[in-house]
Chains A and B, each alone.
Chain A
Amino acid sequence: MLEVSNLACSRGDHRLFSGLSFSLYPGQIMQVQGENGSGKTSLLRTLCGFLMPDEGDIAWCGKSIRELDEAYYAEMLYLGHLNAIKDELNALENLRISAGLAGVELDEKEAIAALRRMGLRGRERLPTKVLSQGQRRRVALARLLVSGAKLWVLDEPLTALDVGAVAQIQELIAEHLARQGMVIFTTHQPLQVAGMEMRCLSLS
């Protein structure tokens, strides 16, 4: 369970938000809404521990994430604006390495199955520099399929994706929630998850 209490965050001299409190329980999904520059990405990066909050605390299962550190990182997955894939490597190598960094050893078969499910059949061994923007995003999103993390923090997961891929991401999120996972995400595109109540957090 993720608990955020009285969180305040600023970039430079500009206060983005303050007094922010919410909790996210297993099986719940939350969308962070707000205009450009309202601090959505900063909030998600604070949840990852990249940014230090000015005030307040973030707790995972009752303990501060600062104390938990690696134990917390083992249970969360962050997908940011940057895809974290290397142009020089092919899709398969990229996926296996990024899963490895997240602490999951993947064999080739599992990685290929995940890439195929993301609609990259036949592109597994191409260098990612020849792939389109949407296909690269799919390589990055394939991490969702192979991760054992409970909490997904997704920053604009749908950018550059086509309609089919968006539907697939919705399906993935629904499966994850059904496994008692948690999702917190931002998007400017409509995202519907069947049979789930979408909680909204508005930053202004």
Chain B
Amino acid sequence: MKKSSLPSLIVLVIRRDLLLAMRRRADVLTTLIFFVMVVSLFPLGVGPEMDMLRKMAAGVLWVAALLSSMLSLGRLFSADYLDGTLEQMMLAPQSLSMLVLGKIAAHWIVSGLPLVLMAPVLGVQFDMPVQSLGVLIVGLLLGTPVLSMIGAIGAALTLGLRGGGVLLSLLVLPLCIPVLIFGTGAVEAVSTGLSAVSHLSLLGALFMLALVSTPWVTAQALRISME
């Protein structure tokens, strides 16, 4: 028996959540299938006009990513809350914020990363040029973690509430609008021949800001929910 340090505790939380996700694969697949379905429905509904599809591609992919990341947020803390694990996490001899960060990281790996990996394949359906696809992926890589981090605050605040899912979307979606704007803006800039750097750096700034502040805010929200 030996004492565990902070990094090993974070790794433990991430590994635990990934292991649980592997044992409950249906939950993970729901998010991904929802994303693929929503994005694929647009070309079918709008019709095969290449110009129009190319123009709306980034917007559709980003909105779909935003909505599908909402789907899995409700489960971020609820299972741990119901079976008492969350109580034990609060009693861990390390900062709760860091454990929360571990949970958010695991949530992103399970629900955000598959979307990023799937996006180029779906982008081809919209006849996106390679350069735009590249920027889209970089944008998603920076933006989806922010969605998970902001979502975690909402998930913590609505913990244990009846009908928390709807409330969660109402709380979180408005806060995610900047990510949507800069994410789609970057792709649009590249397709009109401008540089995407400014949009991407703003996304990067949002990421850093969220990384620093959201775990702490989420931890405080969890403490309130536990009372």
Contacts and interface: CB of A to CB of B under 8 A. Distances in A.
Contacts of A70: 92-95
Which residue, A48, A100, A101, has most C-beta atoms of chain B within 10 A?
Answer: A101
Contacts of A89: 19-20, 23
B91 A48 contact: yes
B85 interface: yes
A-B pairs, top 7 by smallest CB distance, nearest first, are A82-B84, A74-B93, A84-B84, A88-B23, A103-B93, A100-B12, A84-B85
A98 B93 contact: no
A80 B93 CA distance: 18
Contacts of A97: 12, 16
Given A48-B91, A102-B92, A103-B92, A86 B83 contact: yes
Contacts of B85: 84, 86, 98, 101
Interface string B76-98: 00010011110111111111000
Interface in B148-207: none
Interface stretch (B3-11, B30-38, B55-63, B125-133): B3-11
B1 A84 contact: no
Contact of A103 (B9, B24, B87, B227): B9
A146 B1 contact: yes
A80 B227 contact: no
Contacts of B90: 48-50
A52 B227 contact: yes
Given A50-B227, A101-B88, A86 B20 contact: yes
Contacts, number: 90
A83 B88 CA distance: 10
Nearest to A140: B84
Given A50-B90, A105-B1, A84 B83 contact: yes
Interface residues on A, range: 20 to 34
A70 B3 CA distance: 14
A105 B16 contact: no
Nearest to B15: A97
Given A89-B20, A100-B12, A146-B1, 20 more contacts: A76-B91, A78-B88, A82-B87, A83-B83, A86-B85, A88-B23, A89-B19, A97-B12, A98-B85, A100-B8, A100-B9, A101-B9, A101-B12, A101-B89, A102-B91, A103-B3, A103-B4, A103-B92, A104-B4, A105-B4
B3 A80 contact: no
